[in-house]
Amino acid sequence: MSRPQGGRIQVPDDLREILLEFTISYLLEQPGDVINYAVEFFTRLQNNRTTTIVRGPTAGTPDESIISDEEEPPVAARFNNRRKSVFAETYDPEEDDSDEGAPVVFPKSDAQRTRLAEAVRGILLFRSLDAQQMQQVLDAMFEKRVEPSEYVIRQGDDGDNFYVIENGIFDVLVTGDDGIEKVVHTYEGTGSFGELALMYNMPRAASVRAQTPGALWAMDRHTFRRILLKSAFKKRKLYEELLDKVPMLKALQPYERANLADALVPRSLIDGELIIRQGDTADGMYFVEDGNVSIRITRDDGNEHEIKRLDKGGYFGELALVTHKPRAASAYAVGPTKVAFLDVETFERLLGPCMEIMKRNIDDYEEQLVKLFGDKSNLTDVR
Ligand code: 1OR
Ligand code: 1OR
């Protein structure tokens, strides 16, 4: 909050940012009447705020939702090279019907198609595309080769393309308020980047620089927004609240939780439906989105005992993924229930930072098990 400090008034960051954005917007658009333009500008801001996923009481601009305070690039960088388009276009997924415009097609050889198909396998943002959308996306992508030390994206720029990595190592760098550029993430030959600026109509949140020679597949901003935006945006919005409620996931950065949201697959269950069967091989884990889940263990006497009941924000099915053993218990829906499924590959890729917490929780299972049954059968080699 603004508080006089030694006689000086501090200008809150939010106020400074919003006024700066308004001023630049006004100067770029030069609409004439300042007051009318201000009413229009701030009304739009307010409307957008209610339909987007802005977290908590921070007064960020409506399109910044997924980036938390600590991830926001400094104001100066955010407004570098900003073009009018960035201000003029704000995304309201509820009103989005941007299907106009001829699809872009970059003809490809069979060999290129094979390489591209391989590169996009596992790209989380492509998961919810149907066959036709996938075809359009593949048609629109074009190759880009990069040299070591080359910047593919510069923090603060406007977003032009979204990129999928075919090969090469890429560093993500963020310049903080101190002006020092730090590596915050490294892509090792797979993955994608550059979606944030296109999704939220904001300047690039970070720079991306090749560490080695690399091959990328790029998709232009228009195709990204036309085909990928709606589904990706909805999914991040849908799951953000749920993932915020899972204490274990606090170990992830907000950006990593957003990636997790891309990967989740929703599943609706009826009362009593079996979700996991004890003894089966594990293919993933689950988060409870709505309703309740009963965890039950069948002991040697053949009787099934309920050992735990989970509600919204709970998770289960992680144990077998950590121990690489069969499912230690069964899981059933209690009443109509919704869960979100996370496959094992993505679990291993994204949940590394939560592993310690999961192992601690598994130690708790062990204690309870010993109390209840006097032994710890399945869990001996977890630690
Ligand atoms: P973009 O369009 O903003 C830079 O351009 C891209 O780097 C960005 O989209 C993401 O696709 C990618 N924070 C922000 N952007 C990131 C991050 C990141 N990692 C990759 N990108 N953080 C690293 C999280 C592991 C958080 C840093 C504080
Ligand atoms: P999973 O992959 O083995 C069944 O599939 C899931 O049920 C398991 O992962 C856990 O998420 C959950 N206490 C609490 N939750 C458990 C327990 C448990 N066992 C399995 N799950 N135990 C303590 C009992 C008092 C038993 C440990 C074997």
Ligand 1 pocket, residue 255 CB under 6 Å: yes
Residues pairing with 210 in the sheet: 170
Average pLDDT of the residues of the chain: 81
Residues 218-232, mean pLDDT to the nearest whole number: 90
Q: Tell me, what's the pLDDT at 357?
A: 87
Q: Determine the Cα–Cα distance for residues 126 and 242; give it in Å rounded to an integer.
A: 21
Q: Determine the Cα–Cα distance for residues 123 and 55; give it in Å rounded to an integer.
A: 26
Please tell me the least confidently modeled range out of 36-50, 56-70, 105-119, 339-353: 56-70
End-to-end CA, the chain: 46
Q: Tell me, what's the pLDDT at 29?
A: 66
Q: Whose CA is nearest to atom 27 of ligand 2?
A: 365
Q: Is 178 exposed, middle or buried (0-12, 13-18, 19+ CB in 10 A)?
A: exposed
**Is the pLDDT at 95 greater than 60, yes or no?**
no
Q: Determine the Cα–Cα distance for residues 161 and 151; give it in Å rounded to an integer.
A: 13
Ligand nearest to the CA of 362: 2
What three-state secondary structure class fits 284?
strand
Q: Determine the Cα–Cα distance for residues 68 and 83; give it in Å rounded to an integer.
A: 23
Please tell me the least confidently modeled range out of 2-16, 48-62, 207-221, 274-288: 48-62
Angle between helices 131-140 and 110-120 (to 10 degrees): 120
Q: Is 144 exposed, middle or buried (0-12, 13-18, 19+ CB in 10 A)?
A: middle
**Is the pLDDT at 62 greater than 70, yes or no?**
no
Give me ligand 2 centre to Cα 295, in Å. Answer: 7
Q: Tell me, what's the pLDDT at 7?
A: 58
| Percent of the chain whose predicted confidence (pLDDT) is above 70 | 80
Hey, which of 277, 308, 368 would you mutate to test ligand 2's pocket, going by the most ligand atoms within 8 Å of its Cβ? 308
Enclosing H/E stretch for 267 = strand 265-269
pTM over 0.85: no
E-only strand ranges, 168-236: 169-175, 181-188, 192-193, 207-210, 214-220
